[in-house]
Amino acid sequence: MTAPLRTAAELHALAPATARRAVVMTMGALHEGHATLIRTARTLVGPGGQVVVTVFVNPLQFGAGEDLDRYPRTLEADLKTAVGAGADAVFAPPVEEVYPGGEPQVRISAGPMGELLEGASRPGHFDGMLTVVAKLLHLTRPDVALFGQKDAQQLALIRRMTRDLNFPVEIVGVPTVREPDGLALSSRNRYLSTEERHTALVLSRALFAARDRLAAQQALRARAESAPAPTARAAALSALGEARAAADAHAVAAAQPGGCADAVRAAARAVLEDAAKTTPPLVLDYLALVDPADFTEVPDAHIGEAIMALAGRVGATRLIDNIHLTFGAAS
């Protein structure tokens, strides 16, 4: 492959895969996160399958004042990255090929989930995203489509759309790829100055603080379940003046099944509040601990899967991140 495909006719003229076809949809400016998606796609379809990477900066999902014109276009480098990771073809159509009659009058609605979090911050974003994903699924005709878990709400909505509208495609989520210091890979990271990047690290640190707090709470619960009469032990240690041991015993005694989602939220928020005082500051958009099924906030007593998601702005750059958590898991 020496050049990208530019039209639907060129895409449809590709030799059919002898096994399955996978598609990886991107807006270009490919990085290691995208390369991981492509390599995973190659593994899923095997050597006889076909991996198609799409590169299209979709104007429908950019709102007023967002960075459509500023968004990086690096098609030549993208082609090399895609081929190096195992792609068979890159489909990089112009806007006129995807929307030949101008902006479409009929679009996919993201529904109630699309109005939360990212949808509340960027009205109409998810309608535009789902519309182009639906079009690209029709154009590329894959058996499987891969998306990164970093865009967790996007992934959830794509899964919901394909299920609700009976798209004959398997949707696979691929874990977030991070820099060694924890920053989630993003095409927008290139906009950050050295100082801004240092501040941006607080996003992953807040998520990791939440994860660590959950692990600590669940370890306390495990000890409480196995410790005989923890309340009596705490009282005895207090009477002996063993302050540190008594405090630990009281914590164990107070541990109850469920009831730590608020503590996990508080651990992340404490990190983010400190970052708001740095130079340059992190301006928090949202921090949420949500049910993966509908992205509504989970109650304090939640048991099961959850996603902690956050978004913030450092300078002129807006970044998102998330982490999957399991409440009620064994320590």
What is the pLDDT, as a whole number, of residue 217? 86
Which residues lie below 8 Å from residue 253, measured CB to CB, with a gap of 6+?
224, 230, 231, 233, 234
How many angstroms separate the first and last alpha carbons of the chain?
49
What is the pLDDT, as a whole number, of residue 80? 97
Tell me the C-alpha distance between 84 and 46, whole Å.
Answer: 16
Q: Are 53 and 22 in contact (CB under 8 A)?
A: no
Structure tokens, 65: 């004042």
What is the pLDDT, as a whole number, of residue 67? 75
Instruction: Give the tens place of pLDDT for each residue, 11-49.
Output: 999 988 788 999 999 999 999 999 999 999 999 999 999
Residue 66's pLDDT band, with cuts at 50, 70 and 90, is confident
Residue 245's pLDDT band, with cuts at 50, 70 and 90, is very low
Instruction: Give the tens place of pLDDT for each residue, 172-215.
Output: 999 999 999 999 999 999 999 999 999 999 999 999 999 999 99
Residue 12: what residue type? H
Higher pLDDT, 103 or 64: 103
Instruction: Give the tens place of pLDDT for each residue, 248-285.
Output: 544 545 555 556 999 999 999 999 999 999 999 999 99
What is the pLDDT, as a whole number, of residue 236? 54
Tell me the C-alpha distance between 116 and 6, whole Å.
Answer: 35
Instruction: Give the tens place of pLDDT for each residue, 280-321.
Output: 999 999 999 999 999 999 999 999 999 999 999 999 999 999
pLDDT of 79 strictly over 90? yes
pLDDT of 110 strictly over 80? yes
Note the pTM of the prediction, 2 decimals. Answer: 0.88
Share of the chain above pLDDT 70, in %: 88
Q: What number is the average pLDDT over the span 82-97?
A: 97
How does strand 317-327 pair with strand 304-314? antiparallel
Tell me the C-alpha distance between 174 and 277, whole Å.
Answer: 34
Instruction: Give the tens place of pLDDT for each residue, 128-139.
Output: 999 999 999 999
**Mean pLDDT of all residues belonging to the chain:** 90
Q: Are 140 and 52 in contact (CB under 8 A)?
A: yes
pLDDT of 69 strictly over 90? no
Q: Are 287 and 262 in contact (CB under 8 A)?
A: no
Other Cβ atoms less than 10 A from the Cβ of 84: the count is 12
The DSSP code sequence of 232-250 is HHHHHHHHTT-HHHHHHHH
Structure tokens, 25: 């949809």
Positions marked active-site: 34
